[in-house]
Structure 1
């Protein structure tokens, strides 16, 4: 029970984040100005490390709020200026366009993606082939579409199928309401199949997630950091792919081989197959949904397929800036599928805008790095090394940083 206004303010600060996390952020905000008085460069490094900390602790609190407070303080104490932040933001405007419009555009192609992944699961009998196909298709889609949306679709397919079988295992039919989080009503005869089905779906989700990473790294639109790098280097879609293929294609092949090995030899918890009873239920459900599908639904799938082809051709021939291609996809996909209500269109932007805001906070930290010349000694030290080891050192350093922070920030 809260008895005073200060208690209420303390509770509201960073919401439901743990108290130790809140105190850590407050400590950062108190210490930074003191350190700045003695050494602006040391304070700059602290800002960078603190921001990386907020990214690493993203499950405790979305980094926009704590990272934003730290970045705001950096501007207020003079580590950088609003003009420098604006300059960094304008320089990276294509990335903002990508996040705002491409992610939203792919949102309106979800029905087609759901259809594709559903057919893959029900058509392919071999778990090894299915796993490699899931990984490969996720990689291909992520090379042209937004990886996060592809992953969200894969999760939606898995969650939908799980809910269907959980409902049947609880003695209900497809049209009945049901809470798939409650196992108390599951019949004993189905419990073993349900547990195996859970393992099966978890493994497919992981193969899909790995696939989005393998494919996303290949093209300039696969990940936001790719667009940053491509813009600096002056690479367009085709050149980025060819330049990256020296690394990305061998890594992709290694990923597929790893996928095959863990499924073939059933190691590290992989190798769960789809139980026959579950497959029968899912096939019946798919048949039920197919019979319900109207001509309008079929037309929408065809429209989305055509829009995907237009998207791939537009990116391949670099007909316009990537973000503007995304806006075109929003217009085409909504105009020809009848999505014209503002609130329905608005849902497509909910996923990307928080990260877009966080990206501008990233640029504030980048402005601190630029203003204080923080990376100059590090870069000079690496460039002073033997030329044979410069690239491997950069490669390893970027990999280590990307493990604990966001790839866009590292880029």
Structure 2
């Protein structure tokens, strides 16, 4: 969108005058375009929390605060969660349920994730030409939706085993937005050379294109969700797949290969079950899956690909080669852990902007627009995590699980980790449990062999069942709050519904493996 373009105020509100005085103006401005019922709900939360803290204490108020924050995430399409979620976090600090020092500790403990979001996601933006080129070919060559879905899920799993799930998700988002923008422009009768087209608005979509556009949205939703689940399937397998994997491996003293071998009895069956679920969903066509690529859309994308091929100048070819070389270097650097992922993302930005001649600040700044709002939201999320930590909200569950007999600890630890990871940060949940288990080992309460089995249960429990909600997986939350979600009508509820079959299958298979193989 052209930065100089100012959208008209929603709901017919006049930007110049508000009837009812200054108080009414504040009420209208509060959370802006969000529905009035949503504004009243957030205001009620903010008013009720101090009263609840006085009457029921910090433990009940802490769990209430978690529920309220989840509500803001669930209503992400009504209002971006940063303003309401940030108000809840600020109130929690003012009420003394956590401190600014505790929030800062959570932020610094997760600085790798924040750097990744700030720089790697922006780096992927400068690779979008190559990504769109490659994925367009895959999309047009593979006509079977089942095979295409398996490719998206399998490739995402393979990449996430060696890259970060957020990086892979950023790739999926960039590709999907590229596809969507191409067809939306045609559906709106806008020529491809016109740069001012806003693909977030359906105002100019021609009536006979609307049905195909809706089906195309459903098609993209299913592919993206298959890919997002794939990041969890691959991320659980290796030491570098998820942040908590590295933490657990450090506590257990496992190297890369040893980590893979320890997890394989659970992760490999779960991976195979996930791929089988992917294929089954596309054929059974339930929970929002099964939509095919409309023939009209395929023709548009095919024409677009041929037109781009015909008009591709030598400079464009040089750009693609530069992006390809940098992509190879990035994979090698990540595979050999040359530096933290976020630092490598900054290297990608420097190399690609220099190679492609992008030297104007506004053009570089545009690459950061997607990731920085989510980065700010993640810091707010860490404030909620600090409340969980400071008020020991998970401690009763932790104590109960570790008080059980050894043979019951494994499945119950898996279930407890899974349930808590659905509503909280799985990195935090894994940190809490692995620390407790490590303390038990050092105190001589459990054997080293049992500790290793518990570590497997913790890792798989925080990684697999957490696909149930966007709260559990940072990659899912990133997808939900991305620019793509409103384009393809991917809401919180729809994500939960589409993840449900995977949640049931992966949790059941992993739990069975823990009970019958690991225990």
**TM-score, normalising length: structure 2:** 0.67
Q: What's the offset of the Cα at 1:127?
A: 3.8
For the 8 Å contact 1:64–1:361, the answer to whether it is kept is: yes
Residue aligning to 1:43? 61
Is it true that 1:149 corresponds to 2:170 in the alignment? Answer: yes
Q: Secondary structure at the match of 1:62?
A: coil
Would the alpha carbon gap of residues 13 and 390 (structure 1) be closer, same or farther in structure 2, given more than 3 Å must change? Answer: same
Q: Comparing 228-237 with 116-125, which one deviates more in the overlay?
A: 228-237
Matches of 1:236 and 1:3, distance apart in 2: 66
Would the alpha carbon gap of residues 78 and 284 (structure 1) be closer, same or farther in structure 2, given more than 3 Å must change? Answer: closer
Residue aligning to 2:471? 406
**TM-score, normalising length: structure 1:** 0.83
Is it true that 1:13 corresponds to 2:38 in the alignment? Answer: no
Q: 1:58 aligns with which of 76, 83, 91?
A: 76
Equivalent residue runs for 1:228-247 within 5 Å: 228-231=244-247, 233-234=249-250, 246-247=265-266
Matches of 2:286 and 2:97, distance apart in 1: 51
Equivalent residue runs for 1:103-122 within 5 Å: 103-122=121-140
Runs (5+) with no aligned partner, structure 2 = 1-17, 424-465, 478-519
Higher relative contact order (CA 8 A, sep 6+): 1
Would the alpha carbon gap of residues 302 and 279 (structure 1) be closer, same or farther in structure 2, given more than 3 Å must change? Answer: same
Matches of 1:132 and 1:362, distance apart in 2: 32
Would the alpha carbon gap of residues 372 and 258 (structure 1) be closer, same or farther in structure 2, given more than 3 Å must change? Answer: closer
Deviation track 1:251-278 (CA, whole Å, cap 9, x = no partner) reads 3333332333344566677656556676
Q: What's the offset of the Cα at 1:202?
A: 2.7
Residue aligning to 1:84? 102
Matches of 2:378 and 2:245, distance apart in 1: 15
Residue aligning to 1:98? 116
Equivalent residue runs for 1:3-402 within 5 Å: 3-38=20-55, 39-141=57-159, 144=163, 146-163=167-184, 166=187, 181=202, 182=204, 184=206, 186=208, 195=211, 199=215, 202-219=218-235, 226-231=242-247, 233-234=249-250, 246-264=265-283, 279=298, 282-385=301-404, 386-398=408-420, 400-401=422-423, 402=466
Matches of 1:52 and 1:272, distance apart in 2: 29
Matches of 2:290 and 2:54, distance apart in 1: 58
Q: What's the offset of the Cα at 1:211?
A: 1.6
Q: Comparing 97-106 with 28-37, which one deviates more in the overlay?
A: 28-37
Aligned-pair Cα RMSD in Å: 3.6
Would the alpha carbon gap of residues 384 and 351 (structure 1) be closer, same or farther in structure 2, given more than 3 Å must change? Answer: same
Residue aligning to 2:435? none
Matches of 1:137 and 1:388, distance apart in 2: 31
Matches of 1:314 and 1:395, distance apart in 2: 32
Deviation track 1:125-180 (CA, whole Å, cap 9, x = no partner) reads 4443333334334444555362442232332343245347647xx7x987689999
Deviation track 1:47-103 (CA, whole Å, cap 9, x = no partner) reads 233222222222222221111111111111222221222222222211211111111
